[in-house]
Chain A
Amino acid sequence: MSLNPTYKAYLVKFQPLIALFILCLLLSILSNKFMTVDNGWNVMRQISVNICISVGMTLVVLTGGIDLSVGSVLAFCGAIAAGLLKNGISVPSNNLFIGFTLLGAIVAGTLVGTLMGSFNGYTITKFKVPPFVATLAMLTIGRGLTMLYTNGFPISSLSSNFAYIGTGWFLGVPVPVWISGIIVAIAVIITNKTALGRYIYAIGGNANAARLSGINIKKITITVYSIAGALAAVGGIIVTSRLNSAQPNAGISYELDSIAAVVIGGTSLSGGKGTIMGTVLGAIIIGVLNNGLVLLNVSPFWQQVVKGGVILLAVIIDRANSKSE
């Protein structure tokens, strides 16, 4: 290779960004609807849910784990928030009724997500269940709980205030974009500037060494899965609000889109290496790709093939880079 090593390092570092730029360039040539302000916000709004989930997923993957349950947690927490907002909790036998404000319902939904995440973390650390299996179980459990809670029917006709979260605008920017933006900002600070963040990388890089350095691995792992659960719940609330309805089958296969964003963003599935901003770029690439394929009238079946191909390509390029290091 005659390429100057510094340039090459930059090229590798900004690879996802370059890919995104080329993708956007291509789409704006192929479709005159792509490079418009409306479409831009549209894409951003669509990917904000995936970004919320993927930020949590990135933290989990950095520790060397994986969270397959995010889609189900999203559905269950969305349903809980919607149900509490609409019906509250009533226990007729005791003549008890607890109503929920908008904020109350949102907090409750997020709390449930956190609990589900911490349960994942608990089974993984306490009983040494591999993360893949523990969260696979939670994927099924969460979906079942959603069906139980909703009886399999959507919970609809929620308040217009609630709809603001998913459909509203604030200072000229869609509210979900604000939410995901704030989450990303906090996560970037956590990963770069806090002990928690460093411990996450340390555990993913070498759990033995991390433990011998005095890091409480169980605590950090449970925290990370709890964060992933909470962020899935936030995603669930955004989805529910956007449709103004909690769908019992919301979020199916969202975990795969999320893992795809993490992987395209250059995070290693074996842990210890990766960044939040990489994942954000990964999510944007998937979002732009989805959007572009729709604008170009590509059949949904082909869309899936293309998406799969892009994931594969991203990982192959990543492998090639880490090999040449």
Chain B
Amino acid sequence: MSVLVAENITKKFSGVTALDAVNIELQSGKVTAIIGENGAGKSTLMKILSGVYPDYEGRILFKDTCVSFDNPREAQELGIAIIHQELNLIPYLSVTENVFLGRELINNWGMLDKTAMRAETQKLLQRLKLSIDPDTKIIDLKVGQQQIVEIAKALLTDAEVIIMDEPTSAISDSEVEALFAVINDLRSDNKAIAYISHKLDELFKIADNYIILRDGKTIESGEMQTISRQEIISKMVGRELHILQKSTVNKTDRPLLCVKNISLNHPENIERKLLNDICLNLHTGEVLGIFGLMGAGRTELLETIFGLHTTATGTVTINDKQTNFSCPADAIKSGIALVPEDRKKDGLILGLDVKSNISITTLNDLKSAGLLSDKKEYALADQYIGSLKIKTSSAKQTVKNLSGGNQQKVVLAKCLATKPAVLMLDEPTRGIDINAKNEIYKLILELAGKGMGIIMVSSELPEILAVSNRVVVMCEGKITAEIQAAEATESIIMKAAINQ
């Protein structure tokens, strides 16, 4: 039975169409996978269904009556709960306090009825097979456990529709198993579940139905059993994936960039070294992949080369010139560019337009008669909008309104504008869609082909293998392996990353 139906939903953000006449149907007792690239409109759609965006065209039917929500609370009261990618729990309150937040039970004295709330929470946790004390503070729970608490919150309101936005993006495999057990229980309780994820493996395990979105449109929907992995991918992307042609390295005797004996202490704990005696070379036209697990020191290494850690020891030589960077400005002048890991936090000025974000690194070259020249700035911006295929309504568009992949291209553009000899990329494809990923890989290889030296840090093994000429593996601040791409396999790299 269809419990929630959305018809012809259209949503625009400042002129950009995020959803274009989308149809979706959620059935009781079924898990529906919402599939699509980043920017396809999945999250927007879910936010409309759960009342976060009250302003849209089209209509929503809940149990055959037309409904509209002014805020998430109204949706919740009707029985639609959403579990966001970023969990909305209050870290310093207990599980019970979070579950009952905004719905606290009151006893006859007008005070909080803590015993009743605790008992109720206990029951919910038991039902979800989470064996924790309801008095535990959220901050002391693992992310997976926090997710279950969010589900408990949804069950408390008797939600009939539960929307999960990328629930497994931050949890471990065993936690995923636990989550799936919970989802299976919810399914047998006849709840309708919308499940958004990038991970196709998961979807085949858990989902009954699927809906594929692309560029804000419904492409196809049906039963999960009737579709193959390859079909899903081609429908998400809408075109064939390119096979990458790696660049050939120009192995000169003298390396372009030479990093010697770099060490960096932990700022608080002197005993611990973030970087321990790191040495590496980079040649012109080479793509050097750096792989490592969380905390291996990859980001710190790039930051140190870029002049962000002034307490680090060791030397960085570029084109035979020894450098001593005290700030990023020095590094940029010497021909090094860094595309940081977190584009929103470190890469972009979200409130400024595309043009200003691209030109920010080279403003001093964009003057005429001592003042900034609009003409030169727009010329620069338009050049990169064209060559990197940045999808934006114009160079005047605020960067905030671009999709993740296009934002990443803006960061790339501002780095390339400095005409670097060495380009360092820290997780360049994190959180962007497959199409944009492929474009970025192609770009990396193109740049290497033109003689740029490229260092790419990534946690995605296939990506490292696809793009690099040589792979360096780090573990706990040390280099544990250096492998030519031809000899590298996922298992060799992974072994080095956990240092076995």
Candidates B328, B340, B345; contact of A214 at CB < 8 Å: B328
Partner-A contacts on B (CB < 8 A): 14-15, 306, 308, 327-329, 331-333, 338, 340, 345-352, 356, 359-361, 363-364, 367, 371-372, 414, 418
Smallest beta-carbon distance B57→chain A, Å = 14
A319 within 8 Å of B (CB atoms): no
What is the interface of chain A, defined by CB distance below 8 A to chain B?
5, 189, 192-195, 197-199, 201-202, 205-206, 208-216, 272-273, 325
Task: Please measure, in the bound complex, the distance between the C-alpha atom of A189 and the C-alpha atom of B418, giving whole angstroms.
Answer: 25
Least Cβ–Cβ distance between A156 and chain B, in angstroms: 43
Q: How many A-B residue pairs have CB under 8 A?
A: 73
Of A189, A209, A212, the most chain B CB neighbours within 10 A belong to A212
Contact B332 A214 (CB under 8 A): yes
Residue of A5, A194, A206 touching B348 (CB-CB under 8 A)? A206
A to B CB contacts below 8 Å, 25 in the list:
A189-B371, A194-B371, A194-B372, A195-B363, A197-B372, A198-B363, A201-B349, A206-B345, A208-B345, A209-B345, A209-B346, A209-B347, A211-B327, A212-B328, A212-B338, A212-B340, A213-B328, A213-B360, A214-B327, A214-B329, A214-B331, A214-B418, A216-B327, A272-B351, A325-B14
Give the 7 A-B residue pairs with the shortest CB-CB distance, closest first. A205-B349, A214-B329, A195-B363, A193-B371, A214-B332, A206-B349, A208-B346
Residues of the B chain whose Cβ atoms lie less than 8 Å from the Cβ of A325: 14
Alpha-carbon separation in the docked complex, A205 to B356 (Å): 12
| B326 → chain A closest CB, angstroms | 11
Among residues of A, the one whose C-beta sits closest to the C-beta of B339 is A212
Q: How far is the CA of A105 from the CA of B22 in the complex (A)?
A: 72
A192 to chain B: closest residue by CB? B372
Contact partners of B349 in chain A: CB under 8 A: 201-202, 205-206, 209-210, 272
Residues A214 and B347 in contact, CB atoms below 8 Å apart: no
Q: Which residues of B contact A273 (CB under 8 A)?
A: 351
A198 adjacent to B372 (CB under 8 Å):
yes
Select from chain A the residue with minimum beta-carbon distance to B12.
A5
Q: Is the Cβ of B351 less than 8 Å from the Cβ of A198?
A: no
Q: Are A214 and B351 in contact (CB under 8 A)?
A: no
Using Cβ atoms and an 8 Å threshold, which residues of chain B touch A197?
Answer: 372
Q: A63 → chain B, closest Cβ, in Å?
A: 12
Q: Are B414 and A213 in contact (CB under 8 A)?
A: yes
With the chains together, A216 CA to B363 CA distance in Å? Answer: 13
Docked pose: A215 CA to B330 CA in angstroms: 10
**A-chain residues with CB within 8 Å of residue B338 when the two chains form the complex:** 212
| Complex alpha-carbon distance, A44 and B180, angstroms | 70
Say whether A213 contacts B361, CB under 8 Å.
yes
Q: How far is the CA of A198 from the CA of B340 in the complex (A)?
A: 21
Q: Across the interface, which residues of B come within 8 angstroms of A214, CB to CB?
A: 327-329, 331-333, 361, 418
- Give CA–CA (A194, B364) in the complex, Å: 9
